[in-house]
Structure formats: structure tokens, C-alpha cells
Amino acid sequence: MSVPEPTPHVGVVVLTQGTRPDDLDRGIRSVLAQTGVDMDIVVVGNGWRPEGLPDGVRGLALPENVGIPAGRNRGADQVGGEYIFFLDDDAFLPDAGFLSSCIALVTTDPGIGLVQPRLTDPTGQPAPRRWIPRIRKGDARHPGNVFSCLEAAVFLPRRVFDATGGWASPFFYAHEGIELAWRVWDQGKRAWYAGDLEAHHPAVTQTRHSEYYRLNARNRVWLARRNLPLPLVPLYVGAWTGVHILRWWRQRAALQAWFGGWREGWRTNPGQRRPIRWSTVWRMTRAGRPPVI
């Protein structure tokens, strides 16, 4: 008689500030509805105390908002399992087999170390093109290798996540999905956009304010300083500086805020430096995107 395979165990981290209670409840219940997996679920309240959670869901209250990546890391410290899944409070899973499909994907192809699903608006509103994390967007349903991820719904084998060092806690907000993907690639694995898997997320317009521009620039510099071989640091930052000058040259206030963050990125400590290997640079280049653009 054959011995049945053990049920996969997934640690699930749901991040929230408590400002969207209905969305949070919908997201949690979409996780609880998952089939074929055992789950260890924690809701991280970033400056908020989670209360009234369904049975089987724990809360972790952080006394202040420590930022998105640091909040996810705090949650990851609280859950077990051979896989880990991160879900933002405004996202949810329409398919009860989603986590099982992610596990099947990384089991069938062990070279995949990170899975980002296709994000769609639940009302049918067209999804922003930026939700497809590749230069040549193409068909949103087409899967393939990517070099960044949208953080709203991300799945990884736990050993891969731990080897990355976790999300970039110092960033607070912006570009942490690029660093995570790069560090997955540096393990000899690939970040994968699973266009055939779906998560729902409202198609909201990004708020563009001075803090957005500042963190965008600061973290772009920090990303390079933390992760790239030294000769590539000025190339990467220079390329993106040129992009943003061309993009916002008519928006003086935006550029002023952006260059304020740019200077901050060079003058302040970005945290631990773990440059990716030159062999990783070559693998990423062969796969379609050298880490200088």
C-alpha cells in the first residue's frame, strides 16, 4: 500500500494597517477557502491591532507602522511551513486552488523560486500595464521570467525566501519587489510571472506625491548599492536618472522631490550589502534583462 503524500504546509502573511476592514476580511476568507494545503496564517497590523479575526487566523500587532517590507518580514518570523505566501489586505484569491497550483508549479519546475500571479480588478476594470512586471508587456496571460514582482500577492518556497534575507526592511516602501526578485535569481533560480494564475486587486491609480518621488529615488540608489557589483552601481543609477529626467522634466516639483531622494540614497546607509554574483548578472542578461536597466 502506497503512503499518501503529506499535505503541503504554507505560511501566509497578510499585511494591513486596518484601514480597509471589508477588503481585509475578504482577503482572509479567500485564503481560508484554499484547498489541498495546511496553513499557518498571521495578519500583521502595521500600527494597528488586528481584532475579530476568523478562527485559525492569528494577529500580530506592531505598535507603529514600520513600513511595508519590514511588516512582511515581521509576519514571516511568525509562520511556519515549507512555503510562504504574502498577501496585501486589498487583494484576494478568486480560486480556492491557487496555493495548490503555486506548489505544483514550483514542484514541477524547481528552477522557479518566486511566483507572482496575474493581478486583475474584480470589477472587470482594465488592469494597469505596470502590473505585468516585464519590459515587453505583451499578453497579460502569458507567463515567463521576470526580474521584479508586484508585492500584493507573492509565493515562494520558504527556503528560497529565507536565503534572500527577506524583504528590504530599510526601504519602507518602493522597489522591495525588485530586490527580492534579484536575490531569488542569485540563488540560481528564477522569478516567474504566472499569467495563468490569478489574484484580484483593485485597479487604483497610484498616488504621486513628494514622498512617493523621494522614496522612489532613494530606494533606486539603495537597491543598486545593496545588490549590484560595484562597476554596475553607477550604470544602473545613471540609467534610471536619465529615465526619470525624460519622464518628469516638465514636472519641476516632482523632479525636485526625486533628486532630494536621489541625494539621500547616496548619503545614507542602505543597510546590508549583498551584491549578486557576476554569473547572476550573466543569467539575467541571457534571460532578457541585465540589471542595469
Mean pLDDT of 196-205: 90
Residue 240 class from Cβ within 10 Å (0-12 exposed, 13-18 middle, 19+ buried)? buried
Distance, in Å, from the CA atom of 19 to the CA atom of 24, rounded to the nearest integer, reads 9
What's the pLDDT at 1?
Answer: 55
Nearest to 201 by CA among 138, 237, 159, 151: 151
What's the pLDDT at 247?
Answer: 85
Q: Most confidently modeled of 8-17, 128-137, 201-210, 250-259?
A: 8-17
Cα 250 to chain centroid distance, Å, stands at 31
**What is the CB-side half-sphere exposure of residue 101 using CA atoms within 13 A?**
16
What's the pLDDT at 206?
Answer: 67
Q: Which residues pair with 57 in a beta bridge?
A: 41
One-letter amino acid identity for 69?
P
Cα 105 to chain centroid distance, Å, stands at 18
pLDDT of 172 > 90? The answer is yes
Distance, in Å, from the CA atom of 153 to the CA atom of 116, rounded to the nearest integer, reads 6
What's the pLDDT at 250?
Answer: 81
Nearest to 83 by CA among 42, 40, 124, 117: 40
Listed in sequence order, the residues at least 6 apart from 114 whose beta carbon sits closer than 8 Å to its beta carbon are: 149, 154, 155, 156, 160, 180, 181, 184, 189, 190, 191, 192
Nearest to 91 by CA among 204, 175, 4: 204
CATH code at 9-200: 3.90.550.10
- Summarised one tens digit per residue, pLDDT across range 132-149 is 998 888 899 999 999 999
What's the pLDDT at 135?
Answer: 84
What's the pLDDT at 3?
Answer: 57
pLDDT of 208 > 80? The answer is no
Confidence tier at 292 by pLDDT (50, 70, 90) = confident
What's the pLDDT at 227?
Answer: 98
Locate the domains of the chain by residue range: 9-200, 210-272
Residue labelled with grid coordinates 507603529: 64
Higher pLDDT, 203 or 236: 236
- Summarised one tens digit per residue, pLDDT across range 87-99 is 999 999 999 999 9
- Summarised one tens digit per residue, pLDDT across range 32-88 is 999 999 999 999 999 999 999 999 999 999 999 999 999 999 999 999 999 999 999
Mean pLDDT of 185-200: 97
pLDDT of 209 > 80? The answer is no
Listed in sequence order, the residues at least 6 apart from 124 whose beta carbon sits closer than 8 Å to its beta carbon are: none
CB 198, CB 141: distance < 8 Å:
no
Number of residues that make up the chain: 293
One-letter amino acid identity for 244?
H
User: What mean pLDDT is reported for the chain?
Assistant: 94
Lowest pLDDT segment from 5-9, 27-31, 221-225: 5-9
One-letter amino acid identity for 175?
H
- What is the distance between the terminal CA atoms of the chain, rounded to a whole angstrom? 55
- Summarised one tens digit per residue, pLDDT across range 231-264 is 999 999 999 999 989 888 888 888 999 999 999 9
**What is the spatial order of strands in the sheet that 144-146 belongs to?**
57-62, 38-46, 9-16, 83-88, 153-157, 112-120, 190-200, 144-146
